[in-house]
C-alpha cells in the first residue's frame, strides 16, 4: 500500500526524460522567436481589451447571451450492461428562470438500431456517446435561439465536434443563426490542434516531430492576447469557420474560439466578450459557461439516486450494478 | 419553504428561495404523514452557489459578476436561504424530506410563548423575532410595553415575554447572569418594577445604591410619574435600619462579628462564654471592657491592690466587679481574643449597625412593598445575614405553626433580590450570609421564600445555589469561564452559547424549567431609571460650568479689576458672600476665566487689568 512499485517509478521518470528530450529543441526557442514565427506563418498576435459596460448593456438589449453545454454520466459495468444519460442546457442571461433542458438516455440493452453485439467495441461506444451528446447540445442551442432570440450563443466546445457527430442538426443551427443574425461561437477549453506544430515542420527542416498547439502556446501569450489564425494555416476553412487562440486569464494555458465564417467580422468582438466574462484568476473559461456547466452536470450521486429511486431494485441489480460499484475496499 | 436534505427526528434543514430566516423563529413543518410539527430555527444561513467564489477552484472576481449583471443576469437572485430547525418535540419518525413549511399563526404558538397573563405575571419584555406571528394576537397582549433600541423608544411589535411568577412555586429561584453593560442591572430593575406592580413583598440588597424607583426615565411618555412612589422604600443600614442587639442570639452575634472580620475559635468561645441572652449592647460591651481592664492588671493581687487603694466608693465598686469577672472568665477567655471581639463589636457599632432595628422592613413586607436595603457590600453582608435569618425564620415559624395547628403571627411569603450575589454566596469559602442563602435556595420553596440572584460572575457563585436557580436570564457574557459555567448550568445549546459574547445590550436568553426550553427575548424599557445614569464626564463638565458661573457672578460687579487691587476685591467678596480667597488663589481663578474667554486681560501702565469681554 505504501510502497510504490520501482518499475513504475522508473517508467514514469523515463517518460519525463523522453518528453524533455523531445521538446528540448522547441522549448528552448526564444519566446520572441516563436512569436515572430507565429506572426509570420499562423496569424497576427493582437492584444484585446475588455468590453465596456455600455457595450454589454447593448448586448442585453439585443437579447443577451445564451450559454450552451452538455453533460453525460454513465452507470453500470462493461458493455452492454450500462446506461448512459445525456443532458443539454441552454441558459440565457436574460431569462434565468427559464432554462431549456433536454435529456436523452442510451443503453445498448435496448437501442432503436439493431446492433450486432459481438461486433461492438469501445470505439463505437465512444461514437455513440459523442453523437448523442453533440446532438443534444445542438438541439438545445436551436431551441434556445428560437426562444430567447439572443445576440450571441456561446457553445461549450469547438465546432468540429458538431460537424462530425451531428452534421444535419448542426447545419440547421448554422443556417438558423445566419438567417437570424445571431452570432454563434464555440469556446474550446482544451485545444487539441497542432496548427503551429505543423507549420513548424513545414518551414523548419530540423523539426521532425509533431507538436501540439497546447504545449507550444503554454505561457507564450500575454494576458489578453489573441492569435487570429489565417485561413491558409488551417484546414478548417473548408468547413466554414474560423478560429483564434487566446489567453483569457492569468493562467498560462490558452483557450480556443470558433466562429462561423459568415460572421468573421465579429471575431474580435466575440473574443472581447469571452475575455470580459472570464475571471482574471481562473482557468480561462467564461464564468457564464462555468455556471451553465455546473447546472447541467449530472453528478454520480444524482445518477445513483435516480437509478435507485426510479428503477426496480431487481432490474437495477441485474443489469446495471457492476462489481466495481459494490466494492468497498 | 421546504424541508431539504437529510432529516432526523430532532433536526431538519429548511430551504427557501424567497424568505430569509431568523434565528429563534418558529416554523411549522407540514409533514404529510405525521401532521404539523413545530420547530425553532437554531441556525440561519444564506448560500449562493455561484458566489462561493469558487466554481471548480476558480476565484470569481467582481468585475465579471458586474459584466454578467450588465448582460441581464444578477447573481444575487440565485441566493437561497437555509436554516437548521430543531423540533420542539421529537418526532416519531424522521421528518419527510420535501415537506412544506410555513410560519405559524399566533394561536398555534400561544401556549408555547405565553404562560401567564399580564395581570398575574411579570411582563418583562418581548420574545425576539416573533413580529410576524404577533400580528394576529389578541389585544390583551398588545401595547403592554416599549423596548429601547438605538433609535429610541419603540412600541411593542412582538409577542410579550410574561414570566409566570406562580410557577416559582414549582420551579423556584431566578438567576440573572451577564457581564457589565450587558443590561443585567436594567433587567433586574424591570423585574423589580413588575414585582411592585403585583405588590409582592420583596427585599432588595442594593450595594450600588441604584435601586431607586422614584425617577421616571426621561424617554418614557408622560403620565408615568410616581408610578412606584408608594410601592418601595429605600433604607440604609445603620441609618434607617439596623440590628436590635437585644434580639440577638449568641450565634447571630457570632455571625455578625464574623462578617465584620473572621473570628478565631478562641474568639467564638469568648462570645459563647460572655454573651448572655437579652444582653444589651452597653451591658455586653461593658462586660468586655471590664474584663480586659482586669486582665491588663495582670494578676489577682494587683486587682486587689486596686480595690484597696480606690479613691472613691464608685471606683471600688467597679474594681470589685472587674475582680469578679476576672475570677470567672480569665481562664476561659484569653486577653487577645476578648480584645479582638471588642474591636469587632466597636467596628460594627461605629457603622451604626446596632443603632436601629428591622421593624420598618417587616412592616413594609407585611404591606406588600419592595424594601431596598442599601449599604456597602461589607456591611450588607453583615446585615443581610441577620436580616434574612430573622425574616426567613419568621415565615418558617408561621408556616410550621400552621402545620402543627398552633398559633403564630402571620408573616407573608417574600422574594429576596440581590445584585453581586457572588459576594453574598461565594463559591469555595464560607461566608455567614452564604449559609442562609443556601438554606433558602434549598428549602425556601416550601415556605414561599424565593431568591433572585444577579451576578456578573456565575463562576464565583456557590454551585449548590446555582443548581437551585430554576429560571436563568443570561445576558451578554464574554468571559470564557463564565460561558462554560452557563453551558453547564443551563440548557443553552452550543450554538446559543457561541452567541453569548455578541448579544446586544438588553437581549437575553431565558432558560426556564417551567417553559422547558430557552427563549430569546429582549428586556423592555425600564419605566424608572437609575440615579447613576449621568455620565461622569458629563458631570465633570457640568460641574465646572456651574463653578465658573458662580465665580463670574461673584466678580461681575467688581470688573474691571486691577492686579494691584486684588486685596480689596478679596475683602469685598468675603464681606458679601463669605467666600474667602487668597491673592494667589484669586489670581489663578481670574486667569482661568481669561483662558476660557469669559473675561479679558489687558496690560495698562499700572500693570494688568481684568475686564469684561
Residues 6 or more apart whose CB falls under 8 angstroms from that of B588 comprise none
Per residue in B300-334, pLDDT (tens digit) is 888 888 888 888 888 888 888 888 888 888 888 88
Beta bridge partners of A75: A83
Q: For residue A79, give the C-alpha cell.
A: 458493455
pLDDT exceeds 70 at position A186 = yes
Provide the residue range defining the domain that includes A241: 27-326
Residue scoring higher pLDDT (B357 or A154): A154
Which one of B56, B68, B78 has the shortest CB-CB distance to A93? Answer: B68
Specify the pTM.
0.68
pLDDT exceeds 90 at position B553 = no
B86-89 contacts, C-beta under 8 A, 24 or more apart: B86/B10, B86/B11, B86/B39, B86/B40, B86/B42, B86/B493, B87/B9, B87/B10, B87/B11, B87/B12, B87/B29, B87/B37, B87/B38, B87/B39, B88/B38, B88/B39, B88/B40, B88/B112, B88/B517, B89/B37, B89/B38
Task: Please tell me if residue B64 touches chain A, with a CB cutoff of 8 Å.
Answer: yes
Q: How far apart, in whole angstroms, are the C-alpha atoms of residue B473 and residue B419?
A: 13
Q: For residue B224, give the C-alpha cell.
A: 408615568
Please give the distance of CA B126 from its chain centroid, rounded to a whole number: 20
Q: Indicate which of B58, B61, B97 best probes the interface with A, i.e. most A CBs within 10 Å of its own CB.
A: B58
Q: What share of chain A is helix, strand, coil (3-state, %, to 5)?
A: 50, 20, 30
Q: What is the CATH number of domain B171-242+356-523?
A: 3.40.50.300
Peptide bond into B560 cis (omega under 30): yes
Q: How far apart, in whole angstroms, are the C-alpha atoms of residue B507 and residue B499?
A: 11
Q: Which residues of chain B are within 8 Å of residue A276 when distances are taken between CB atoms?
A: 64, 67
Compute the nearest-CA separation of A322 from chain B (Å): 27
Counts for chain B of helices (H) and strands (E), in that order: 20, 22
Residue A13 lies in a domain: no
Which one of B55, B64, B73 has the shortest CB-CB distance to A278? Answer: B64
Phi, then psi, of B19 in degrees rounded to 5: -115, 130
Mean predicted confidence (pLDDT) in A29-33: 76
User: Same CATH fold, B536-612 and B171-242+356-523?
Assistant: no
Q: Which H helix or E strand runs over B146?
A: strand B146-149
Q: For residue A24, give the C-alpha cell.
A: 528540448
pLDDT exceeds 60 at position B17 = yes
The predicted structure's pLDDT at residue B189? 92
Compute the nearest-CA separation of A49 from chain B (Å): 14
Number of domains chain A contains: 1
The predicted structure's pLDDT at residue B451? 95
Task: Please tell me if residue A57 touches chain B, with a CB cutoff of 8 Å.
Answer: yes
Q: What share of chain B is helix, strand, coil (3-state, %, to 5)?
A: 40, 20, 35
**CA-closest candidate to residue B426, choices B382, B389, B387, B457:** B457
Q: For residue B136, give the C-alpha cell.
A: 394576529
Do the interacting molecules here have an ipTM over 0.90?
Answer: no
The CATH class, in words, for B536-612 is mainly alpha
Per residue in B139-192, pLDDT (tens digit) is 888 888 888 888 888 899 899 999 998 888 899 999 999 988 898 988 999 999
The predicted structure's pLDDT at residue A115? 54
Q: How far apart, in whole angstroms, are the C-alpha atoms of residue A234 and residue B97?
A: 56
Per residue in B44-60, pLDDT (tens digit) is 888 876 665 555 555 66
CA angle A295/A296/A302 to nearest 5° reads 90
3 state DSSP class of B233: strand
3 state DSSP class of A223: coil
Q: Which residues of chain A are within 8 Å of residue B55 when distances are taken between CB atoms?
A: 287, 290-291, 294
Peptide bond into A80 cis (omega under 30): yes
Exposed, middle or buried, A22 (CB in 10 Å: 0-12/13-18/19+)? middle
Residue A275 sits in a domain whose CATH number is 3.30.2170
Q: How far apart, in whole angstroms, are the C-alpha atoms of residue A225 and residue A45?
A: 7
Task: Please tell me if residue A94 touches chain B, with a CB cutoff of 8 Å.
Answer: yes
Residues 6 or more apart whose CB falls under 8 angstroms from that of A17 comprise none
The predicted structure's pLDDT at residue A47? 93
Per residue in A268-313, pLDDT (tens digit) is 999 999 999 988 888 888 888 888 888 898 888 888 888 888 888 8
Q: How confident is the model at residue A112 (pLDDT cuts 50, 70, 90)?
A: low
Residue A164 lies in a domain: yes
Per-domain boundaries in chain B: 2-104, 171-242+356-523, 245-350, 536-612
**CA-closest candidate to residue B342, choices B245, B412, B260:** B260
Asked if the Cβ–Cβ distance from A283 to B77 is below 8 Å, we say no
Report whether A69 contacts A89 (CB < 8 A): yes
Q: Which residue of B has its CA nearest to A275?
A: B64
DSSP state of B165: G
Percent of chain B residues past pLDDT 70, beyond the cut: 98
3 state DSSP class of A135: helix
Q: If you compute the radius of gyration of chain B from its CA atoms, what whole number of angstroms results?
A: 34
Asked if the Cβ–Cβ distance from B71 to A93 is below 8 Å, we say yes
Per residue in A70-107, pLDDT (tens digit) is 998 888 877 778 888 999 999 998 887 788 999 988 88
Amino acid at each position: 500500500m505504501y510502497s510504490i512499485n520501482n518499475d513504475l517509478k522508473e517508467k514514469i521518470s523515463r517518460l519525463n526524460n523522453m518528453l524533455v528530450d523531445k521538446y528540448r529543441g522547441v522549448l528552448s526557442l526564444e519566446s520572441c522567436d516563436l512569436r515572430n514565427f507565429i506572426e509570420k506563418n499562423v496569424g497576427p498576435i493582437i492584444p484585446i481589451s475588455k468590453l465596456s459596460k455600455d457595450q454589454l448593456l447593448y448586448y442585453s438589449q439585443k437579447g443577451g447571451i445564451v450559454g450552451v453545454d452538455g453533460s453525460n454520466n454513465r452507470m453500470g459495468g462493461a458493455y452492454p450492461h450500462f446506461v448512459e444519460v445525456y443532458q443539454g442546457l441552454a441558459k440565457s442571461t436574460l431569462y434565468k428562470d427559464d432554462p431549456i433542458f433536454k435529456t436523452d438516455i442510451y443503453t445498448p440493452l435496448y437501442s432503436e438500431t439493431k446492433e450486432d453485439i459481438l461486433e461492438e467495441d469501445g470505439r463505437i461506444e465512444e461514437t455513440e456517446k459523442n453523437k448523442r451528446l453533440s446532438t443534444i447540445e445542438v438541439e438545445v442551442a436551436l431551441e434556445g435561439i428560437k426562444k430567447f432570440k439572443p445576440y450571441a450563443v456561446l457553445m461549450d466546445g469547438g465546432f468540429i465536434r458538431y460537424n462530425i457527430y451531428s452534421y444535419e442538426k448542426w447545419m440547421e443551427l448554422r443556417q438558423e443563426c445566419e438567417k437570424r443574425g445571431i452570432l454563434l461561437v464555440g469556446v474550446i477549453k482544451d485545444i487539441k490542434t497542432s496548427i503551429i506544430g505543423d507549420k513548424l515542420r513545414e518551414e523548419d527542416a530540423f523539426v521532425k516531430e509533431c507538436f501540439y498547439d497546447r504545449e507550444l502556446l503554454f505561457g507564450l501569450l500575454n494576458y489578453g492576447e489573441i492569435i487570429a489564425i489565417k485561413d491558409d494555416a488551417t484546414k478548417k476553412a473548408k468547413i466554414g469557420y474560423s478560429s483564434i487562440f487566446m489567453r483569457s486569464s492569468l493562467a498560462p494555458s490558452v483557450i480556443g474560439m470558433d466562429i462561423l465564417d459568415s460572421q468573421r467580422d465579429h471575431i474580435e468582438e466575440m473574443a472581447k466578450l469571452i475575455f470580459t466574462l472570464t475571471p482574471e484568476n481562473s482557468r480561462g473559461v467564461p464564468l457564464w459557461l462555468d455556471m451553465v456547466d455546473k447546472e447541467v452536470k449530472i453528478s454520480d450521486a444524482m445518477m445513483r439516486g435516480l437509478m435507485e429511486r426510479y428503477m426496480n431494485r431487481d432490474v437495477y441489480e441485474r443489469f446495471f450494478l457492476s462489481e466495481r460499484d459494490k466494492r468497498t475496499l | 419553504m421546504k424541508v431539504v436534505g437529510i432529516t432526523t427526528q430532532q433536526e431538519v434543514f429548511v430551504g427557501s428561495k424567497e424568505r430569509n430566516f431568523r434565528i429563534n423563529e418558529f416554523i411549522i413543518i407540514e409533514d404529510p404523514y405525521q401532521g404539523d410539527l413545530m420547530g425553532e430555527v437554531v441556525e440561519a444561513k444564506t448560500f449562493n452557489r455561484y458566489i462561493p467564489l469558487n466554481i471548480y477552484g476558480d476565484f470569481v472576481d467582481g468585475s465579471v459578476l458586474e459584466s454578467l449583471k450588465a448582460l441581464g443576469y444578477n447573481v444575487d437572485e440565485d441566493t437561497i436561504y437555509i436554516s437548521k430547525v430543531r423540533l420542539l418535540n421529537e418526532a416519531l419518525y424522521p421528518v419527510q424530506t420535501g415537506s412544506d413549511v410555513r410560519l405559524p399563526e399566533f394561536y398555534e404558538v400561544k401556549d408555547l410563548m405565553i404562560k401567564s397573563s399580564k395581570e398575574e405575571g411579570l411582563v418583562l419584555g418581548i420574545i425576539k423575532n416573533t413580529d410576524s406571528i404577533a400580528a394576529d394576537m389578541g389585544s390583551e397582549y398588545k401595547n403592554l410595553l416599549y423596548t429601547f433600541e438605538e433609535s429610541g423608544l419603540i412600541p411593542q411589535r412582538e409577542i410579550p415575554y410574561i414570566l409566570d411568577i406562580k410557577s416559582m412555586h414549582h420551579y423556584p429561584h431566578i438567576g440573572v447572569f451577564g457581564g457589565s453593560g450587558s443590561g443585567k442591572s436594567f433587567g433586574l430593575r424591570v423585574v423589580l418594577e413588575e414585582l411592585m406592580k403585583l405588590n409582592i413583598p420583596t427585599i432588595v440588597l442594593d450595594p450600588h445604591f441604584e435601586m431607586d424607583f422614584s425617577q421616571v426615565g426621561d424617554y418614557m411618555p408622560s403620565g408615568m410619574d410616581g408610578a412606584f412612589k408608594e410601592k418601595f422604600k429605600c433604607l440604609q443600614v445603620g441609618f434607617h435600619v439596623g440590628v436590635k442587639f437585644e434580639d440577638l442570639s449568641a450565634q447571630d452575634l457570632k455571625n455578625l462579628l464574623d462578617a465584620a472580620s473572621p473570628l478565631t475559635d478562641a474568639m467564638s468561645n469568648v462570645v459563647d462564654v460572655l454573651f448572655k441572652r437579652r444582653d444589651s449592647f452597653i451591658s455586653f460591651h461593658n462586660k468586655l471592657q471590664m474584663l480586659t481592664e482586669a486582665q491588663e492588671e495582670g494578676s489577682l493581687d494587683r486587682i486587689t491592690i486596686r480595690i484597696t487603694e480606690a479613691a472613691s466608693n464608685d471606683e471600688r465598686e467597679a474594681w470589685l466587679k472587674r475582680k469578679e469577672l476576672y475570677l470567672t472568665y480569665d481562664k476561659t477567655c484569653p486577653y487577645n481574643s476578648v480584645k479582638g471581639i471588642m474591636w469587632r463589636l466597636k467596628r460594627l457599632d461605629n457603622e451604626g449597625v446596632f443603632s436601629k432595628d428591622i421593624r420598618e422592613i417587616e412592616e413594609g413586607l407585611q404591606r406588600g412593598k419592595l424594601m431596598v436595603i442599601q449599604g456597602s457590600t461589607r456591611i450588607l453582608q453583615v446585615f443581610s445575614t441577620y436580616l434574612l435569618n430573622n425574616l426567613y425564620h419568621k415565615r418558617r415559624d408561621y408556616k410550621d405553626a400552621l402545620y402543627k395547628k398552633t398559633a403564630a403571627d402571620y408573616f407573608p411569603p417574600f422574594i429576596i433580590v440581590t445584585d453581586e450575589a457572588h459576594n453574598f454566596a461565594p463559591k469555595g469559602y464560607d461566608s455567614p450570609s452564604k449559609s442562609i442563602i443556601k438554606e433558602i435556595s434549598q428549602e425556601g420553596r416550601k415556605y414561599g421564600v424565593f431568591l433572585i440572584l444577579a451576578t456578573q460572575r456565575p463562576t464565583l457563585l456557590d454551585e449548590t445555589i446555582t443548581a437551585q436557580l430554576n429560571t436563568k436570564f443570561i445576558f451578554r457574557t464574554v468571559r470564557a469561564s463564565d460561558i462554560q459555567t452557563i453551558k453547564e448550568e443551563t440548557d443553552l445549546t452550543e450554538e446559543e452559547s457561541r452567541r453569548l459574547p455578541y448579544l446586544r445590550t438588553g437581549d437575553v436568553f431565558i432558560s426556564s424549567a417551567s417553559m422547558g426550553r430557552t427563549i430569546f427575548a429582549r428586556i423592555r424599557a425600564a419605566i424608572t431609571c437609575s440615579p447613576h445614569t449621568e455620565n461622569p464626564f458629563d458631570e465633570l463638565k457640568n460641574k465646572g460650568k456651574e463653578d465658573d458661573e458662580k465665580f463670574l457672578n461673584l466678580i461681575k460687579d467688581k470688573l474691571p479689576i486691577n492686579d494691584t487691587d486684588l486685596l480689596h476685591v478679596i475683602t469685598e467678596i468675603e464681606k458679601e458672600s463669605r467666600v474667602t480667597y487668597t491673592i494667589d488663589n484669586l489670581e489663578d481663578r481670574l486667569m482661568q476665566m481669561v483662558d476660557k474667554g469669559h473675561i479679558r486681560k489687558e496690560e495698562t501702565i499700572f500693570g494688568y487689568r481684568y475686564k469684561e469681554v
